[in-house]
Amino acid sequence: MRLYNTLTRQVEPFAPVRNNTVRMYTCGLTVYARGHIGNFRTFVGVDVLRRALKYVGGFQMHHVMNFTDVDDKTITGAEKAGLPLREYTDQYIQAFREDALALGIEPVEDTPRATDPENLQAMADMIKQLGEHGHTYQTDGSIYFKIATLPTYGKLARLDHEGIQAGARVDSDEYDKENARDFVLWKATKPGEPTWDVGCGPGRPGWHIECSAMALRLLGESPIDIHTGGVDLVFPHHENEIAQSEGATGKEFSKFWFHIEHLLVDNQKMSKSVGNVYTVQDVLDRGFRLSALRYILLSAYYRKQLNFTWVGLEQAEESLRRITDFLGRVGGLSGGVAHVEVATRVAEAVQRFDAALADDLNTAAGLGELFDLIRALNIAMDARQVGEADAPGIQAAFDHFDQVLGVLSLRHAEEATPPIPQAEIDAGIEARQDARRRRDFAEADRIRQELLDKGVILEDGPKGTRWKRR
Each residue's pLDDT tens digit, 187-218: 998 888 999 999 999 999 999 999 999 999 99
Statement to judge: residues 177 and 51 lie in one domain:
yes
Helix (H, G, I), strand (E, B) or coil at 59: coil
Quickly list DSSP for 269-317.
Answer: ---TTTT---BHHHHHHTT--HHHHHHHHHSS-TTS-EEE-HHHHHHHH
* Residue that finishes a domain, picked among 226, 260, 294: 260
Q: How confident is the model at residue 462 (pLDDT cuts 50, 70, 90)?
A: confident
Tell whether the torsion through CA atoms of 264, 268, 269 and 272 is positive or negative.
Answer: negative
Statement to judge: residues 407 and 442 lie in one domain:
no
Q: What domain range includes position 213? A: 2-260
Statement to judge: residues 398 and 449 lie in one domain:
no
Statement to judge: residues 177 and 107 lie in one domain:
yes
Residue 255, judged by CB atoms within 10 A of its CB (0-12, 13-18, 19+), counts as buried
Statement to judge: residues 384 and 448 lie in one domain:
no
Mind listing the pLDDT tens digit for each residue in 134-186? 999 999 999 999 999 999 999 999 998 877 887 899 998 888 888 899 999 99
The amino acid at 264: L
Examine residue 17 and state whether it is found in any structural domain, yes or no.
Answer: yes
Q: What is the pLDDT of residue 16?
A: 98
Q: What is the pLDDT of residue 76?
A: 94
Q: Are 266 and 276 in contact (CB under 8 A)?
A: yes
Residue 113 pairs in a beta bridge with 67
Q: Are 68 and 39 in contact (CB under 8 A)?
A: no
- Residue 63, CB-side half-sphere exposure with 13 Å CA sphere: 22
Statement to judge: residues 381 and 456 lie in one domain:
no
Examine residue 19 and state whether it is found in any structural domain, yes or no.
Answer: yes
Domain count, the chain: 3
- Residue 74, CB-side half-sphere exposure with 13 Å CA sphere: 28
Statement to judge: residues 55 and 139 lie in one domain:
yes
Examine residue 202 and state whether it is found in any structural domain, yes or no.
Answer: yes
